[in-house]
Amino acid sequence: MPDFTKGAAWMDGQIIPVADAKISVLDWGLTHSDITYDVVPVWNGSFFRLPDYLARFRQSLAALQLTIPQTPEEITTILHRMVARSGLRQSYVSMVASRGVPMVAGSRDPRDCANHFYAWCVPYVHIAKPELAERGVHLWISKSSRRIPEDSVNPRAKNYHWGDFTTGLLEAKQAGFDNTALLDHDGNVTEGPGFNIFALKGNTIVTSDHGVLHGITRRTMIELCEARGLAVETRPLPLAELMEADEVFMSSSGGGAIPVTRVDDRVFSNDSPGPVARSLRADYFALLERGDLSQPITY
């Protein structure tokens, strides 16, 4: 019997165990990182904001000039069927479009590649484990890696270009920190691997408007901040301003609002999650539970 306990994948019209999912070694998604994807969370057996994630996925396809035959409605059906087959009720669900393998052997023309879609799901992934979020993340600002400029790689088209992030992560781990964030070439805070960054000062929240993925959870967090009467500014966030914040937190579909208690040697909120970050984290999970923006899966 197929083992779906670790997740499932949809490839070429078939739902298979995630461990059996494979792409060609000649696929440009692998050899050139010429690929886009999006990740939607499943919480308590329901997709959260699936139409929004699908809309951003289509925007990424257009930005990278990738063409797949599946319509948003067909992708919705594929994702529902795949997660239902896996049996996972809390899941990290990825939809992917790759440039594919050149149909003309040896071609260097991206137009010669057979673009294709696939999807996969695994148990829910926390960007920071719940116990780490409870303590507060220790964040390292990379000293040797700057964020890839957005006129080189468009950060709003979700991608696998993690060379800059990987360098920062290795630095962070070697320095004893949990995760990393990157600056742009002007010294502004951009984002980290899989998350946006927010800084609270007084009654105002600031998060970067450039060099970052305009995440769906980022959008949700902005909405939750405004619902709490906080002013939100999306603009460049200089590192010096981040370091003077009252609170710092991250946002990700892998955990909602995640408090940050240290950035390099700067300690925030007496080295414990601040009250606003805690409240927004609770608001996010309450929204997931409430189901206003959810699509139940038929298992």
How do the domains of the chain map onto residue ranges? 8-123, 130-290
Given pLDDT bands bounded at 50, 70 and 90, which one contains residue 1?
confident
Q: Which of 104, 108, 37 is nearest to 68 (CA)?
A: 37
| Residue whose pair of structure tokens reads 């088209």 in the numeric block | 157
Cβ-contact 92, 41 below 8 angstroms? yes
Q: Is the confidence at residue 227, as pLDDT, over 90?
A: yes
Angle, alpha carbons 148-126-195 (nearest 5°): 25
Its CATH architecture, for the domain 130-290, is: Alpha-Beta Barrel (3.20)
Span 8-123: which CATH code?
3.30.470.10
On average, the pLDDT of the chain sits at 97
Given pLDDT bands bounded at 50, 70 and 90, which one contains residue 291?
confident
Q: Which of 282, 263, 274, 77 is nearest to 181 (CA)?
A: 263
Instruction: Give me the residues paired with residue 17 across strands.
Output: 8
| pLDDT given for residue 183 in this prediction | 98
This prediction's pTM:
0.95
Q: Is the confidence at residue 296, as pLDDT, over 90?
A: yes
Q: Is the confidence at residue 29, as pLDDT, over 90?
A: yes
